[in-house]
Amino acid sequence: MTQILNRFFTLLSIFVLFTTPVFASYEFALPFGAQESSVGGAVNSSTNGATSLYFNPAGLGGSAHGTEISVNVSPYVAKSTGAFNIPTATTLTGSAVLPEGGIFARYGVTEQFGVGIGVYGAAGSGGDYQPPLDLTALGSAVKPTISSQLIDMELALGAGYQISPEFSIGAAWRISFGSASFKSVSPTLTSTLSVDGLSAAQWGGFKIGAQYKELNNKWGVGTTFRTAVPLNLANGTVSGVLLSNGQSLPSSTGSTLTTQLPLSFTLGGHYTLLPNWRFMLQYDFTQYNALQTSTLAGSLAGSAFTISIPQNWSNLNMYRFGTEVTDVLPIPIRLGYVYATKIIPDNTASVSYVAPSDYNIFALGSGASLSDKMHIDVAFSYTFGTGQGQGTPSGLGDGSYSNKYYTLHTSLAYCF
């Protein structure tokens, strides 16, 4: 019995390391923007108008005078499964509706110079995993639940300038607002562990971009570079209940979680094969191997804890393809595809991360003018990945993992 309890204690201690919400630094391949999502996000060479602030701030320049406001809504329906082998092999199933979107505004100061402002979801994760953990074999009167949520919102201010009819540059200042909460089990195997109210603001993020378009816009290239943003969340409240009898423990404040939104680089282009047929290609690199370890610190019932969370992620490479056909139907036809490489190693697989797998994303969409000042775009995207993981050498996370995301992107733009 002692050996069994020691094994369970070890597994649950490790489990805490792998169920904290550091997956928050993962970003959706198609975050928002129906027109952009419908062509796989391969738009950094062609984007213009208000949403350029996010995709490539160089697109803020070189448009007409006046103001454009863009409202974008992209709710993600997420379905996830993962392994958790205690006391026997168990598959946890998680689901969540993740709100995603952004509101942007652009003002053309001159024909060459434009400025923009926007607020949008930059990264996030979340899920409620079922079934609750059954630890009755260990004398627990409580079935702990596993859940996590982390949201990174950004407020950005930017400007773009058209140096020549073919060449534009731009830059954006990004202010990040992070928040997180999660529920798990304490490393001491005596109580549940809930952390709520983690938050922080980071003011030091930037994105720069450039575009070159052939004079008749038959072809073009674009590039962006985004600096890393540390997410040092603080001021969380830690609480829990005793597993033995369900009694609430004294809560405490001041917990912290450190992670980051890593730097990113993109390079893309577009080419008009026929007057009504355009192709887009783009490569994205995100330095996720900077996420080797995150740290959670706090106290519960007067006992301080510091948990180093190993991640050992790999860099993310995304290959984007998009095409748009016009004048065949009354509305344009847009198709997109994204291939995203595996970032989660098999030996750190967790229900709180994306599956240790490559990902495939398919998208389609269209748009129409509602008036001479208003335009609507709609797109649907489907993301999936499936892989096998070990989680830890102890076998805690041995099993299958999968993620599926269903998203309806809607964008409404108004110019005046």
Residue 280: closest CA among 206, 363, 359: 363
Confidence at residue 256, expressed as pLDDT on a 0 to 100 scale: 86
- Cβ(260)–Cβ(229) under 8 Å? yes
Residue 154: closest CA among 297, 32, 42: 32
pLDDT single digits (tens) 338-356: 999 998 887 777 766 777 8
pLDDT surpassing 90 at residue 239: no
- Which whole number is the average pLDDT over 228-255? 85
Domain range annotation of the chain: 2-415
Lookup result for tokens 């674009």? 222
Confidence at residue 134, expressed as pLDDT on a 0 to 100 scale: 73
Percent of the chain with pLDDT over 70: 86
Q: How far from chain centre, in Å, is Cα 363?
A: 17
Confidence at residue 133, expressed as pLDDT on a 0 to 100 scale: 72
DSSP designation for 349 = -
CATH superfamily of 2-415: Outer membrane protein transport protein (OMPP1/FadL/TodX) (2.40.160.60)
> pLDDT category, 3, cuts 50, 70, 90?
very low
Higher pLDDT, 95 or 367: 367
pLDDT surpassing 60 at residue 365: yes
Distance CA 399, CA 93 (A): 13
Window from 180-194, 244-258, 272-286 with minimum mean pLDDT: 180-194
